[in-house]
Amino acid sequence: MNNITESNKKIKEGFVGQRMIVLPPNIKRIITNNPLIKNFYLTAVGYYPKAIYHDRERKTGSGQYILLYCVDGEGYIYLNDRTYTLKPNTFIIIPKNVGHRYKSSNSNPWSIYWVHFSGLNSDAIYHRSTEQNAPLVHSVPYDESRINLFEQLYAMLEHSFHEKEMEITNLYLQHFVTSLVYYKQLNPVAYDTDSVSASIAYMKKNLRKKFLIEDLASQCSKSVSHYSRLFHQKTGSSPINYFNLLKIQASCQHLYFTDRSIKEIAATLGFDDQYYFSRLFSKLIGMSPLKYRKTHKK
d(CA 111, CA 224): 50
The pTM of the full predicted model, rounded to 2 decimals, is 0.69
What's the CATH number for 6-188? 2.60.120.280
Looking at residue 191, what is its pLDDT? 65
Distance from C-alpha of 181 to C-alpha of 73, rounded to nearest angstrom: 21
- Give the separation between CA 162 and CA 290, rounded to whole angstroms: 51
List the domain boundaries for the chain: 6-188, 192-297
Q: Which amino acid does the sequence have at 262?
A: I
Dmax (CA) for the chain in angstroms is 91
Q: Can you point out the beta strands (E) in the chain?
A: 19-22, 41-48, 55-58, 65-72, 75-79, 82-86, 90-94, 100-104, 111-118, 138-139
**Among 191, 193, 167, 188, residue whose Cα is nearest residue 31:** 167
Decide: helix, strand or coil at residue 11: strand
pLDDT for the residue numbered 189: 62
- Separation CA 61–CA 95 (nearest Å): 8
pLDDT digits (tens, 9 = 90+) for 177-226: 999 999 888 877 666 667 888 899 899 999 999 999 999 999 989 999 99
**192-297: CATH topology:** Arc Repressor Mutant, subunit A (1.10.10)
**Rounded CA gap, 80 and 64, in Å?**
17
Residues 155-175: pLDDT tens digits?
A: 999 999 999 999 999 999 999
Give the per-residue pLDDT at 2.
35
Which pLDDT score is estimated for 16? 78
All residue ranges of the chain with pLDDT < 50 are 1-7
Tell me how far CA of residue 114 lies from CA of 105, 180, 255, in angstroms.
Answer: 17, 12, 47
Q: How many CA atoms lie within 13 A of 108 on its CB side?
A: 11
- Write down the pLDDT at residue 1: 32
Within its chain, how far is the Cα of 40 from the centroid? 15
3-state secondary structure of 168: helix
